[in-house]
Amino acid sequence: MGSMKTWIPEDNNRLVKTILQTGFRKYETAIKYESKIIKENIDNPLNENYHIPAEGFHTSGMQWDDLSKQRLSKKRIENKLALGMNNPMFVRNHRQETKVKMKSKAKGRYTLEWYIDRNGLENGTNLYTERCIYHKKRNSGRGNPMYNKTHTQSSREKMSKNSSKIVGKYDMENNLLDIYSSMMEASSKNNISISMISAVCNPKRINKTAGGFIWKLEN
C-alpha cells in the first residue's frame, strides 16, 4: 500500500491499492478492514503517511512530537503553502460529480450515529461525548473568536432577525422534544450558543446536530 508522498511510480495509472484477502462483496467493507489493520499498527513507520479518503482517516504526522508539529505549522504559515498559487486548488473547481460524492461522504459525519457505526456503541458514545466537551472548552474564554470583541450594529440586527425564528429541538432519532419561540430562548435553555444553533439550522448544512440534539427551523 504505497503513498504518493513517499513513493511515486513511473506510471501513476499503475498505483493500485490491493488488499490481500478475498470475500469482500463491497468496497466499503474492504476499506473498513484495511482501516482496522492500520489502526492496530498505528505506530508502524510504514504507516507514516497513510490515509483513507473514504473514512476521513489519516496517520500523517501522528508519530511527530509537539515541537515538530509546531515547526511544521510555522513553516506552512511563513511559506503561505495554502495561499494563492501554492494552493493545489488555485484557479480550479471541483466537478459537479465530485461535489456530489463529497457531500455524500460528509453526510452525517461526526454525529453520534457516525461514531457508533465506526467504533461500537460504548466506544463511539464516549468519543462523541469527548468531542462535544472539547469543542465546548475550545469555544469558551480566550478560545472563543469573539473574546474581548463586540459585534457591529449591522451584525446585531442580523442576529436579532435570526434569533426570532421558531426552532425545534429533536433527539437523534428525529423525535420532537421541544419548540422555542426564538434561537435566543433555545440557546439560554440549553446552554448552546446562538451561532451554533443558527449554523445547524441552515438548510444547506449537512450536519444538523449541536449539543447532542438535532435543530430545525419550524415554519
Give the CB-side neighbour count of residue 102, counting CA atoms within 13 A. 6
Rounded distance between C-alpha atoms, residue 179 and residue 202, angstroms: 17
Cell readout for 65 is 512530537
φ/ψ of 191, rounded to 5, equals 55, 45
Evaluate whether residue 49 is within a structural domain: no
Are 168 and 211 in a shared domain? yes
Please report, for the domain that includes residue 187, its CATH number.
1.10.10
Evaluate whether residue 29 is within a structural domain: no
Cell readout for 19 is 488488499
Are 171 and 133 in a shared domain? no
Structural domain containing residue 138? 111-142
Number of compact structural domains in the chain? 2
φ/ψ of 52, rounded to 5, equals -120, 100
Is pTM beyond 0.85 here? no
Are 138 and 162 in a shared domain? no
Give the CB-side neighbour count of residue 159, counting CA atoms within 13 A. 14
| pLDDT tens, residue order, the chain (219 aa) | 444 444 455 555 554 555 555 666 776 777 777 777 777 776 776 665 566 555 555 555 555 666 776 777 777 778 777 677 777 777 788 888 888 888 887 777 888 888 888 888 898 898 888 888 888 887 778 777 778 888 888 888 777 776 678 899 998 888 999 999 888 889 889 988 888 888 888 877 777 788 888 899 887
Whether residue 166 contacts residue 218, with contact meaning beta carbons closer than 8 Å, is answered with yes
Rounded distance between C-alpha atoms, residue 95 and residue 111, angstroms: 27
Evaluate whether residue 200 is within a structural domain: yes
Evaluate whether residue 17 is within a structural domain: no
Are 128 and 177 in a shared domain? no
Are 213 and 177 in a shared domain? yes
